[in-house]
Amino acid sequence: MNVSEETATATADGVAVNASLILAELAGVASDLDYGQVARLAEEVRSADRVFLAGAGRSGLVLRMAAMRLMHLGLTVHVAGDTTTPAITDGDLLLVASGSGTTSGVVKAAQTALAAGARVAAITTNPSSAVAGFADALVVVPAARKTDHGSTLSRQYSGSLFEQSVLLVTESVFQSLWEATAEPAEKLWLRHANLE
């Protein structure tokens, strides 16, 4: 069933209420995150020879944003599945995101990385998942999984809070690593894509 014009009207007040809902849920996650886990993730990223990122769907899109930010820091960064992504090896880090921790392509990527001698970092809601079990650094996000439609953790649809939280975690990692470099924004900007 498609949403018809008669049943789907957005008012300014309704949009404001929903924006407040989203911000409140994200603030709740932020207050419950283990920032020791996030700091460990930042250290894994900082010390890696190269950083690879892998995720499916919207989580994968958020990791593509993180890849750009890490590239701005001057790190060597690759997104799994891109045509020019090289083989992962010893000394590299694979950063994955999966709300369930069971996404088959993400699990396979983690297994491949470990077999190649790379380290694995994972962001997930499920600390007992396969992906969490593979992780050298684990960030557990206290958010609903995308199939948990009756969750009391979020009123948002199908994993939205997790994906927003992945953005929060990866931007926090970027901001912390950037501040540690004391490089001005203008220097990072020189690395920004110029073939747009």
Q: Does domain 34-189 have CATH number 3.30.70.2190?
A: no
- 6, pLDDT greater than 60: no
Compute the mean pLDDT over every residue in the chain, rounded to the nearest whole number.
93
pLDDT of residue 158: 74
pLDDT of residue 153: 75
Structure tokens at 117: 């001698």
Minimum mean pLDDT among 61-70, 125-134, 144-153, 186-195: which range? 144-153
Domain residue spans in the chain?
A: 34-189
- 146, pLDDT greater than 80: no
The pTM assigned to this predicted structure is 0.92
Can 5 be counted among the known catalytic residues?
no
- Order of strands across the sheet that contains 51-55: 77-79, 51-55, 93-97, 119-124, 137-140
List, in order, residues 6 or more apart from 113 with CB less than 8 Å away: 52, 88, 92, 94, 119, 120
CB environment 32-60: b (16+ within 10 A), e (fewer): ebeeebbebbbebbbebebbbbbbbbbbb
pLDDT, mean of residues 72-82: 97
Q: What does the alpha-carbon distance between residue 195 and residue 67 come to, in Å, rounded to a whole number?
A: 17
Q: What does the alpha-carbon distance between residue 150 and residue 160 come to, in Å, rounded to a whole number?
A: 14
- 4, pLDDT greater than 80: no
Among residues 44, 163, 179, 186, which one is catalytic? 163
Looking at residue 28, its amino acid is G
Dihedral angle computed from the Cα positions of residues 95, 96, 97 and 100, in that order, rounded to the nearest 10 degrees: -140
